[in-house]
Structure 1
């Protein structure tokens, strides 16, 4: 038996050697072609895909455009899709310049977000470079402390705990509960509005899916589903209902409540 095993091992080793040699002979690949002409422009691979701004921040950001061939001066043509953004149509390179910072400005309301797709025009691109990038910008409110509340979650965790509340300095009675459903540090907050008498008006957003940070998305549409989507209160005790989904199509009924125990504005 030992001899048979030895024989098989030798045959297998020989076969492996033949395959390796054959692969060495037949599987060699030609080197990738080198681009030796054209503008050879690209977008920096480290370009962020999102930016966040506070109300007092300038509504602008920069991206870097580089090029592979730098001997001569060149004009790189830029494409852009996003009506809220002002993107230069061209970038001028002097002879020897390898990289240029391009300033992009935008104009959106506080609390809003928008996206722009920036690209290098076909014919100016470097074949191995990043030639387009979609970038999202958001203008957040200035959030200030508004006390704390006891939050009850009977749907996802069955837990009850004390959470912080913040108010938007620039908002119209806009508040948010800090990370009620997500892991600590994930930064996903539940927003809601009150009227001038500090009574419940609405959860936010209305009519679109909102990622809760726990594998589910909230869907709050009170006009369409008034029996399931609601936000009410008696004094500092609030109740709310919503729909949620984990696949964007199947909807489930959810609810929760909180007691605004510290710094409730209605007191």
Structure 2
């Protein structure tokens, strides 16, 4: 995140130059990827107004006329889709080097044999490596969820709820988290981020104290919709991964957590 200021301070000015979304709500993640210049990508794009954190992102809006910047966005999380009922809720602690640095709220909503798996990240301002000089605050560039092979069609969405949230930049069926620098393609080719029909990757930019001097510690609510069973939700070891890809020169790090997943799921690539 570079040269960011609060969403609320610039929202009105930035909305003037924004374009209307064409795919509001849950968007399908094609199992074979999407066509892009030069080949195929695992990713669909959502909200690119902030260039992956390099600039101030513009939150989605909803109105009778259609709203703005709302590709992949839903206007509610209670539930994300009408007719779904919440069936599970757990707050999971994010830890590294035996230090608690944040939380992931993990929820499931169901309608028959369709389920929505939701996650919201909050990063605390805690140095994850006190033995190193200065302060190291973990930055979440990607959240990944496992368990969706043979559970298609898979779709994804996000809900933006507060000015401390960051929007969702892109989402795709892949286990590879790709660093994004200014000028990079928003949709890396499958030669760089191969398709995995078992994993969904959400790209955002979260840090309680960003090295570039500005910070958004919370994610939007990030949703995956898939088929499921009527069995009670259970946690799968290693089903959530938080990835720091080093946008500002930080080391590449991965934190693994349990997470809700469809019955019988696994975490294989």
TM-score tier after normalising by the smaller chain length:
0.3 to 0.5
- Highest Rg: 1 or 2? 1
Query: Is the helix fraction higher in 1 or 2?
Result: 1
The structure with the greater share of residues assigned to strand is 1
Q: Which has the higher contact order (CA 8 A, sep 6+)?
A: 2
TM-score calculated relative to the size of structure 1? 0.32
